[in-house]
Amino acid sequence: MTLALAPNEAHIWLVNPQTITDDNILQGYFPLMNEAESAQQQRFLRPIDRHRYLVTRALARTSLSRYMSQPPASWKFTFNKWGRPEIDPSQLEIPLRFNISHTNELIAILVNLRDDAGVDVEDLSRRVGVMTIADFSFAPGESKDLQSLEGDTQKQRFFLYWTLKEAYIKARGMGLAIPLSQFSFHRSHGDTLYIDFDEDFGDQATRWQFQCFAPTDKHWMSVAFQGEPTPDYKVRVFWTVPMQSEEEVDLTPAMQTKT
Ligand SMILES: CC(C)(COP(=O)(O)OP(=O)(O)OC[C@H]1O[C@@H](n2cnc3c(N)ncnc32)[C@H](O)[C@@H]1OP(=O)(O)O)[C@@H](O)C(=O)NCCC(=O)NCCS
């Protein structure tokens, strides 16, 4: 049955690919991929990457089919010059948009109508050189904030900034063509987020709203939505095993922009 999606609503579909080990289920995912995707899947050297790619394709195709009459295998995609996939305009019955993010144990697809939106998930247990990356890529204020922290607190804050920054550049569809140092996030009163842009950057804080979630105890997931922050913007979250099961969960943002 088709799932309704309102203009002031986004849906996020989540899957942990590591939980999908049943060969009967996995065999059902292969025919969903087109020729280019099948070839790409084979090009990954590590089994974990092949598996993640396969489950990502199944997640994307089955999730999109919840909103329109296209069967999962029939979706066609176009790509902008920075590689962002979109549904081929010839297939659009409604102005459906999507954005994908993946880690080894969590894949997310954000689905919404019309507006630019982006999602990023990161695994907090991943080993990273926090200050090296922050000093090289983040805005000076973010780097200074991280410098004042240590241990797990520092790492959590780092991944908060990272997911928010990635969600924003993905919403813009330009990826790392946008300099990460020219916009910055701040927190106030614990759970309120603010974004600031450098003066000549050409964007405004009032054009965007952000939310950050902890969908598992080891992942941050941030989402960026174009449009004036409004209190009635609703995000619904579903855990799924593509073609097998789905369950809506009540996930409150850990942090968000003030509306
Ligand atoms: C491609 C990029 C947009 C996101 O990459 P990423 O964080 O490695 O990967 P994610 O899993 O979050 O997202 C990948 C998905 O984004 C989508 N995507 C690709 N190009 C995109 C773009 N220009 N805009 C938005 N989404 C894009 C794709 O659907 C892709 O998944 P798919 O190839 O399976 O379809 C880009 O920002 C990038 O290469 N980032 C590298 C990460 C990094 O070094 N960050 C620095 C610290 S902040």
Q: Which residue segment(s) compose the domain that 17 sits in?
A: 9-257
Output the domain CATH number for residue 203: 3.90.470.20
- What DSSP line would sit under 61-94, residue for residue? HHHHTTTSS--GGG--EEE-TT--EEE-GGG-SS
Any domain includes 139: yes
Considering the entire predicted model, what is its pTM? 0.96
Any domain includes 13: yes
Any domain includes 205: yes
- Compute the distance between CA of residue 91 and CA of residue 78 in angstroms, rounded to an integer: 11
Q: Hey, whose CA ends up nearest to atom 10 of ligand 1?
A: 101
Ligand 1 pocket test: which of 59, 78, 81, 101 has the largest number of ligand atoms within 8 Å of its C-beta? 101
The residue with tokens 């904030």 is 145
| Total number of domains in the chain | 1
226 lines ligand 1 (CB under 6 A): no
Q: Hey, whose CA ends up nearest to atom 16 of ligand 1?
A: 100
83 lines ligand 1 (CB under 6 A): yes
The pLDDT of residue 190 is 75
82 lines ligand 1 (CB under 6 A): yes
**pLDDT mean values, one per 10 residues, the chain (259 residues):** 92 98 98 98 98 98 97 98 98 97 98 96 96 97 96 96 98 96 90 93 94 97 88 92 98 90
Nearest to residue 20, comparing CAs of 217, 249, 242, 238? 242
For 189: left if phi > 0, alpha if psi spans -120 to 50, otherwise beta; the answer is: left
The pLDDT of residue 245 is 97
Any domain includes 160: yes
Ligand 1 atom with least separation from CA of 162: 48
Nearest to residue 78, comparing CAs of 66, 87, 70? 87
The pLDDT of residue 34 is 98
Any domain includes 3: no
Any domain includes 149: yes
Ligand 1 atom with least separation from CA of 82: 23
Any domain includes 1: no
